[in-house]
């Protein structure tokens, strides 16, 4: 599937030590490296459908990734993209992400790169298309949509941190995708922007 640089990390039997409860924003207990992402984890817990196939833009340290993995009937149907580095950090973000993936026994595909125009990325599960997007990528959604509109063809749900600035370019993407907002709460960006869920 996709580029030869993509790495499949095969894990099995991932479970929370203590299952998340509704409205519980806490970290999965298996994670070594912690991050805020309270609203994003809440959305993942409460809106990710068990039969979903998830494409995640901006996995960060992987705490949302861990929640998604616990929710999916087939955790292999999950690709998490995290190309970033953090200035002054001791490690590349992806190193922290890999350590959390290992600690939580996740079965996901981690892409340590940005997608190219007309990228050949496909779902890792034959016969299944990506139908759910999880987006926390500092305004990247519009450019990703323009580069690879084919990846959005089967999307029926988007969970997003609205870090797209005052002009809100994501709204145009959601209109083109025929999505409607079903959830909105100011819990993103350290409680300075909204977390939203959009669906068909």
Per-residue DSSP letters for 132-199? EEEE-SSS-HHHHHHH-GGGGTT--EEEEE--S-TT-THHHHHHHTT-EEEEEEEEETTTTEEEEEEE
Q: What is the DSSP letter of 30?
A: T
Neighbours of 41 (CB within 10 A): 25
pLDDT value of residue 25: 56
16-25, 153-162, 175-184, 187-196 — which is least confidently predicted?
Answer: 16-25
- 16-25: per-residue pLDDT in tens? 334 444 444 5
| pLDDT confidence of residue 13 | 36
6 has a pLDDT exceeding 60: no
User: Residue 180 pLDDT more than 90?
Assistant: yes
Domains of the chain: 7-199 (3.40.50.150)
pLDDT in tens, 104-153: 999 999 999 999 999 999 999 999 999 999 999 988 999 999 999 999 99
d(CA 153, CA 194): 25
Asked if the model's pLDDT at residue 10 lies above 70, the reply is no
pLDDT digits (tens, 9 = 90+) for 38-94: 889 999 999 999 999 999 999 999 999 999 999 999 999 999 999 876 555 556 788
């Amino acid at each position: 599937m996709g580029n030869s640089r993509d790495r499949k990390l095969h894990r099995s039997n991932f479970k929370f030590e203590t299952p998340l409860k509704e409205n519980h924003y806490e970290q999965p207990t298996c994670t070594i490296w912690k991050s805020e992402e309270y609203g994003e984890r809440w959305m993942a817990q409460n809106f990710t459908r068990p039969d979903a196939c998830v494409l995640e833009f901006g996995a960060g340290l992987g705490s949302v990734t861990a929640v998604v993995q616990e929710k999916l009937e087939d955790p292999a149907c999950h690709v998490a993209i995290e190309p970033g580095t953090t200035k002054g950090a001791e490690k590349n973000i992806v190193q922290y992400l890999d350590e959390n993936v290992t600690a939580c026994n996740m079965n996901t595909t981690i892409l340590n790169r940005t997608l190219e125009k007309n990228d050949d990325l496909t779902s890792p599960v034959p016969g299944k298309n990506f139908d759910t997007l999880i987006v926390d990528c500092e305004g990247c959604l519009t450019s990703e949509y323009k580069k690879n509109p084919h990846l959005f063809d089967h999307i029926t749900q988007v969970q997003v941190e609205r870090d797209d600035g005052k002009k809100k370019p994501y709204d145009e993407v959601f209109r083109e995708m025929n999505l409607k907002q079903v959830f909105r709460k100011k819990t993103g960006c350290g409680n300075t922007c909204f977390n939203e869920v959009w669906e068909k």
